[in-house]
Structure 1
Amino acid sequence: MKPSADALEIIACAILILVSIVGNTCLFYSTSKCITGGLQTSFLLLISLVFVHLIKNLVVNILKIVYSSGILLDSVGCKVLHFTAALTTSLAIWFMLHFALLYLRKLYQIVYPLSGAASLSEQKYSLKGIAALWVAGVAVYIPVLIYTRKPEHHQHSENDTGSLSTNRIYMECLTGFGNEQVELYYGKIFLVLIDILPLVILVFVCFWMALLLLEKKKMTYGDIWIGDDDSETEVLRGAKFSILLMLLITPLWVSHFILVYFLKDLAAYTFIPAVLTALSSGFSALSPFLLMLVNYKVKLVSFCGVKQEKSTPQPADVILSPYA
C-alpha cells in the first residue's frame, strides 16, 4: 500500500526531531564545557543556534505532526506555525553569517597578523549584535504573527482529496495583510530579501575565507613550516566548517523557496510535504554535528581545545628536537 502524503510528512518530522535533539543536545553540552571564563562570541553564537534549531523542530515540526495526524489547527496554531517557521529560518541564516564573519576576521588576522587583535570593545559589540538579531527577528515577523489566520470558510469539505492534503497546510493557514501594496512590498519582497541578502553575503564571505585558507596553506616562516597551535587550529577548522555549512544552508533554502513558489504545480505529488519538511529543517538537524567538530581536537579528544598533560615519561636517551 502506497503511504499517504501525511504519513510521509509525519515520518520525516519524527526523524528530523530525533536527529536535531541528539545533535543540538550534544552541541550544547560540548559548548557549555568550554565556558570557563567570560562568554565569548563564538560560544554565544553556538548556544543561539542550538535554541533556534530546537525551537524549529520542537514547535514547527511537532505542529506539522499534529496537523498531519488529522487534528485541525485553529487560528492560534496557524499563527505559531508560520511565525516560528519564518523566524527560526531567518535567525539560522543571520547567526550563520555572524559565525562566518567571526571566523573570517580571525583567519584574516592569522594570515595578516599586523592587522591587530580583537579588542574588548569589539567583543562587547559582537555580543550586543547577537542580542540585536534576536530582537530584530521577532520585530520583523510580528506582522506575520498578527495577520496569519485560518479562514472560517476553508474547512474540510466532502470534495477534499488526497492530493489537496499535500498543500492544505499552506491553504488553510493564510497570511493576508489586507492591502495589496503591503502584500507586495512586505510579504513578497522584504521577507525574501532579509533571507536572500544574508545568504548572498554568506557565500561571498565563505569564498573570501577559501582564498585566505589557500594563502595560509602557502605560508612559511623563513622557509621553515611551523605547525599551528590550538588557537590557529580552531580558527582554521571554524573557517573550513563555515564553508561546509554555507554549502548546506544555501541549497536547502533556495530549494525550499522554489518548491513553495511552484507548490501549486507540484501539489499532486505525495512526497512534497516530506521534502519541504526536510528542506526547511535539514539544516537544524545536520549542522550541530558539523559545528561540534569546530573545536574538537582529534589528538586530544577534547571539545574545548584545552591540552591535557600526558603522563608518559620520556626516555632518558631521547634527544628532543627544538621544533618538537
Structure 2
Amino acid sequence: MKPSADALEIISCAVLICVSLVGNTCLFYSTSKCIAGGLQTSFLLIISLVLVHLTKNLVVNILKIVYSSGILLDSAGCKVLHFTAALTTSLAIWFMLHFALLYLRKLYQIVYPLSGATNPDPQRYSLKGVSALWVAGVAVYIPVLIYTRKPEPPNSGNDTGSLSTNRMYLGCLTGFGNDKVELYYGKIFLVLVDILPLVILVFVCLWMALLLSEKKKMTYGDIWIGDDDSETEVLRGAKFSILLMLLIAPLWVSHFVLVRFLKDLATCVFIPAVLTALSSGFSALSPFLLMLVNYKMKLVSFCGVRQEKSTTQPADAIPSPYA
C-alpha cells in the first residue's frame, strides 16, 4: 500500500523539525559560549539565522503537520502560516547576503590590504543593520498577514485525494481587493524582495571565489607565508558562504518554480513532501555548515575548550580581529 500525500508530508515535516532542532540548538549553544568580548557581526548574523530557522520549523512545519493530520486551519491559522513562511524565507536570504558581504569585505582586505584607517567601530553599525533587516521583513509582509484569508470551499464534501496534495498552498488565499495592488505587490514586489538579494548573493559569492583564487596565488617577496588564525577564519567563512549560497539558491528557485506550476502537479503524491523539503531544507542543513565555518577556531565551534586550554593569550582576548 502506497503512503498518502498527507503521510509523506507529515514524515518530511517531522524529520526536518528534528534535524533543524538539533543543528540550530548546537549552533546557538556553541555561538553563545563565545560571546565574551561583545557581539561581533558574525555572532549577530548566526543568532539571527538560528531564530529564523527555528521559527520556520516550529511554526510553519508544525502547522503543516496539524493540517495534514486532518485538522483544518481557520483564517488565523492561514495568516500565521503564510506570514511566517514568507517572512522566514526572506530573512534567511537577507541574512545570508549580509553574511556573505561580511566575509567578502574581510577577504578583500586580506587580498588587497589598505593603508588607510578602517572603521573603528563596525559592531555598532552591524547591530543597526541586523535590526533593520528584522524590522524591514516584518514591515514588508504585514499586508500578507492582514489580507490572507481562508476561502469558503465550494464543495466541502468532494475533497478528493488528488486535490488534497495542494490544498495547503491553495487553500489559504491572499486577496488584496485591488487588481493593481495584487499585481504590483503580490506578484512583483514580493518576488523581487527575494530574488534580487538572491541574485546579489550569487554575484558576491562568485567575487569571493575569484578573491580566493587570487589569495591562493599570493606570495610575499616570492616567499609564501602561511595564514594566521584570523586569516584562516576569513578564508573558511568565505568558502562556506559559497557552499551556503549553492544550497539556498537552488532550494528557493526550485520551490518557487514548483509553487507556480502546482496546479499542473496536483496529481503527484510526493509534491507536498518535496515542497516542504525545499522550503525548510536550508533551515535544517545550514546550521551544520555554519558550525564548520570556524572549525578549530575560537569564534564558534571550539572557543570554550580553546579558551580553557590556552595559556598564551589573555582571558579577555577577542576571538578574532576580523569578527
**Offset of residue 171 of structure 1:** 2.3
Q: Which runs of 5+ in 2 are unaligned?
A: 313-323
Aligned to 1:149: 149
Aligned pair in 2 of structure 1 residues 7, 126: CA closer, same or farther (>3 Å)?
same
Aligned to 1:38: 38
Residues 295 and 304, structure 1, Cα contact 8 Å, conserved in 2: no
Q: Distance in 2 between matches of 1:53 and 1:115?
A: 40
Residue 122 (structure 1) aligned with residue 122 (structure 2): yes
TM-align CA RMSD: 2.0
Q: Distance in 2 between matches of 1:298 and 1:139?
A: 37
Residue 231 (structure 1) aligned with residue 230 (structure 2): yes
Residues 229 and 297, structure 2, Cα contact 8 Å, conserved in 1: no
Residue 140 (structure 1) aligned with residue 113 (structure 2): no
Aligned to 1:86: 86
Aligned pair in 2 of structure 1 residues 303, 156: CA closer, same or farther (>3 Å)?
farther
- Structure 1, residues 186-242: CA drift from partner, whole Å, max 9, x if none? 000000000000000000000000000000000111222211111111100000000
Q: Distance in 1 between matches of 2:198 and 2:5?
A: 31
**Offset of residue 154 of structure 1:** 1.3
Aligned to 1:243: 242
Aligned to 2:105: 105
Aligned pair in 2 of structure 1 residues 228, 111: CA closer, same or farther (>3 Å)?
same
**Offset of residue 121 of structure 1:** 3.9
Residues 149 and 172, structure 2, Cα contact 8 Å, conserved in 1: yes
Aligned to 2:269: 270
Q: Distance in 2 between matches of 1:22 and 1:115?
A: 44
Q: Distance in 1 between matches of 2:117 and 2:239?
A: 21
Aligned to 1:321: none
* Equivalent residues, number: 310
Q: Which moved more, 1:214-223 or 1:89-98?
A: 214-223
Aligned pair in 2 of structure 1 residues 166, 256: CA closer, same or farther (>3 Å)?
same
Residue 167 (structure 1) aligned with residue 174 (structure 2): no
Residue 285 (structure 1) aligned with residue 284 (structure 2): yes
Aligned to 1:253: 252
Answer with 1 or 2: which has the greater Rg. Answer: 1
Which amino acid in structure 1 is aligned with residue 12 of structure 2?
A: A
Q: What secondary structure is seen at the aligned counterpart in 2 of 1:113? A: coil
Residues 12 and 273, structure 2, Cα contact 8 Å, conserved in 1: yes
Aligned pair in 2 of structure 1 residues 294, 117: CA closer, same or farther (>3 Å)?
farther
Residues 31 and 301, structure 2, Cα contact 8 Å, conserved in 1: no
Aligned to 2:5: 5
Residues 292 and 303, structure 1, Cα contact 8 Å, conserved in 2: no
Q: Distance in 2 between matches of 1:149 and 1:169?
A: 13
Residues 255 and 278, structure 2, Cα contact 8 Å, conserved in 1: yes
Q: Which moved more, 1:38-47 or 1:123-132?
A: 123-132
- The percent identity for this pair of structures is 86
Q: Which runs of 5+ in 1 are unaligned?
A: 312-324
Aligned pair in 2 of structure 1 residues 215, 279: CA closer, same or farther (>3 Å)?
same
Q: What secondary structure is seen at the aligned counterpart in 2 of 1:219? A: coil
What TM-score results when the alignment is normalised by the length of structure 1?
Answer: 0.92
Which amino acid in structure 2 is aligned with residue 40 of structure 1?
A: Q
Aligned pair in 2 of structure 1 residues 45, 116: CA closer, same or farther (>3 Å)?
farther
What TM-score results when the alignment is normalised by the length of structure 2?
Answer: 0.92
**Offset of residue 298 of structure 1:** 7.8
Instruction: Map residues 47-58 of structure 1 onto 2, 5 A cutoff.
Output: 47-58=47-58
